[in-house]
Amino acid sequence: MDIGKFLEEVAHVPGVPGYEAAVGARIAEWFRPVADEIFTDALENLYARVGEKGPKVLVCAHQDEIGLVVTKIEDDGCLRVFKNGGVDPRILPGMEVAVQARSGPIYGVVGAKPPHLLTEKEREKAISIQDVYIDTGYPVEQVRNLVRVGDMAVLLANPQTLAGNCMAGKTMDNRASVASMLVAAEWMKSRGTPAEAYFVATSQEEIGSKGAAAAAYRLQPDLAIVVDVTHAECPGAGKWEVFPLDRVAVVHGPNIHPKLEKLALDVAQENGVATSREITSGVTWTDAENTQISRGGVPTLLLSIPVRYMHTTVELLKLDVVRETGRLIALLIERLACEWEGFRWY
């Protein structure tokens, strides 16, 4: 698959937590040529099944993106907002947005009090979400006819192809991981891997991994492989906080099943997939938390794609790493399928 084309296409489709139907429908079109079955559930998770015999594997990556919600319409027509997901208020001033109104998108920009008008005390403070607003240009009467309190807003930005096979843009967290699932699905389909794999683009991860909890409960998988992004090396970051941009990060910690982790590292080494190890001392703040504790427990692995500038509109990654992540997923499932008869977790 053309990973860059996929990311350019899906980056433009809105899908804030709780409102993922449109982006799920677009992702479904990419899965349709390789999936044996495609369906959704009440939480707008998108499922694409590849194969029907062997171990039942849940592979998931969230499709939702951070965004804003309208909380108040000011007397001048400007819209006060709050976060839907982990939005950093520092990035918002000057941002272009689209309010998802009943009649269609209403375009605007994020404004704040100009620095020239700030008091000395105000200049010393970090900007907060209460300091910003959306300006659509419409007069207040028209705004109130078009926009309701509770309408969602998405950030707008065009993806940029950069040197070194890098791409930067919005929603790389986590639609890049969805792209890696597509790579894995294509690989499995072409090789006839004897496994029943459900590739799930999950909903509402940014507000607590609600979709992954529902998907794992529904499917009752034998194991789960979760894909998300992590922080890539960049100037000023601490040594243990970030990971090489050009390697798949295999996560280690109590959220991760040790046998799956070892298998992933062995398969990566045998097949030339460059990896690093991401150490977590507790929760991972990903879908892996909820897949692990579904029903009686699900052995779970977490793979991370390193991304710079997370939760901005210029999230930067290497397209090669997205592809290698998908290849590792497929090869790991293939190994598990071949060893499944008599396989033991401990």
List, as one string, the DSSP characters of 283-335.
--SSTHHHHHTSTT---EEEEEEEEBSTTSTTEEEEHHHHHHHHHHHHHHHHH
CA distances from 96 to 149, 156, 157 (A): 19, 5, 7
Which positions ≥6 away from 201 have C-beta within 8 Å? Answer: 20, 23, 24, 27, 45, 46, 60, 61, 62, 63, 178, 181
Chain centroid, CA 171 distance in Å: 7
65 given a catalytic annotation: no
Phi then psi for residue 284, to 5 deg, are: -105, -5
With tokens 């897949």, the residue in question is 291
- Please state the separation of Cα 203 from the chain's center in Å: 9
CA 91 to chain centre: 19
Pairing of strands 56-62, 67-73: unpaired
Q: CA-to-CA distance for 131 and 121, rounded, in angstroms? A: 14
Q: Is the peptide bond before 174 cis (omega within 30 degrees of 0)?
A: yes
Catalytic entry in 205, 206, 324, 334: 205
Q: What is the DSSP string of 216-268?
A: HHHH--SEEEEEEEEEBP-TT--TTT-B-TTSEEEEESTTS-HHHHHHHHHHH
- Treating both helix axes as pointing N-terminal to C-terminal, what angle do 172-191 and 319-339 enclose, rounded to 10 degrees? 50
Positions marked catalytic:
205
